[in-house]
Amino acid sequence: MKKVLKNAFLALSFSAMLAAAPLAMAADHGEAHGGGHGAAAAQPEIPASVIMREVIEGNEKFKMNHESKYFDLFQDSQVPVLTVVTCSDSRVHTNLFGIVPDNNIFVVRNIGNQVANSEGSVDYGVMHLPTKILMILGHSSCGAVKAAMGDYSGEAPAIKKELDPLKPVIALDDQSGEFKERWAKNVERNVDYQVNYSMKLYDEKVSHGDLVVVGAVYDFNDIYGQGRGSLIITNINGEKSPNKIMEHPVLKDLTRGPIVTHVSSRAQ
């Protein structure tokens, strides 16, 4: 009996460690310039075997909570409604949309949510599936943007190659003001840059009304003052003025309150 209780206690302890790990890392990210994966964070001492056990047991729970018929709709094909280009950052996931991601969201990820670095995948979502909305989703405390703002010459060649396309974005930074504010503006400027890049790629679909390119920032630092975890729309089809964005037809099914709460800009 004692052995059973001991094993149960250890299992609970390891689960608690895994649950607390993101909190610990988030706290570390917040120390320098408001966070970002450009800085090293203290890692919790969790053995790889424990992590894999949690992964497998978690999948068992997932299967138990989803009957076989749940998968019927996407056995042979996918019909997502939204293509999202977002950052590889572990703090950014599609649960922020509050909808079931399975078969609904086609996700493309790379550091700095850049279209050029994953153009083939974006093409697939926009041209082949095809989805009516392409969302470029940046996020507060983006480490890729932070790295591009400084000297990243010491990084591995592959990382430097992925950061280099951010140079035109950082060139728009006038270097004035506090670092945190510059960083926040550059995150938004990067979203704008990726929206413009996408509109050139898919000009025909946009001009015919078959595609809307939406720029947004996932704000878990409350930079925009709407609460942590807010999705802030900063650009629609190249339009960056909040007042004009609010009038865009793609937002017509929303009431005024949510529109005002979720549309803003720091870079304008």
Domain residue spans in the chain? 1-65, 73-262
pLDDT tens-digit map of 110-134: 999 999 999 999 999 999 999 999 9
The fraction of the chain above a pLDDT of 90, given in percent, is 83
pLDDT tens-digit map of 173-207: 999 999 999 999 999 999 999 999 999 999 999 99
Could you tell me which of 264, 82, 102 has the C-alpha nearest to residue 187? Answer: 264
End-to-end CA, the chain:
65
* Sequence-distant (≥ 6) Cβ neighbours of residue 135 within 8 angstroms: 82, 83, 84, 85, 213, 214, 215, 216
The reported pTM is 0.86
Angle at 86 between CA 262 and CA 265, to 5 degrees: 30
* Letter string b/e over residues 96-114, b meaning 16 or more CB atoms within 10 A of that residue's CB: bbeeeeeebbbbbbbbbbb
Tokens of 28: 């570390």
Q: Which superfamily does 73-262 belong to?
A: Carbonic anhydrase (3.40.1050.10)
User: What type of residue is 232?
Assistant: I
* Per-residue pLDDT at 41: 63
Residue with tokens 């050139």: 200
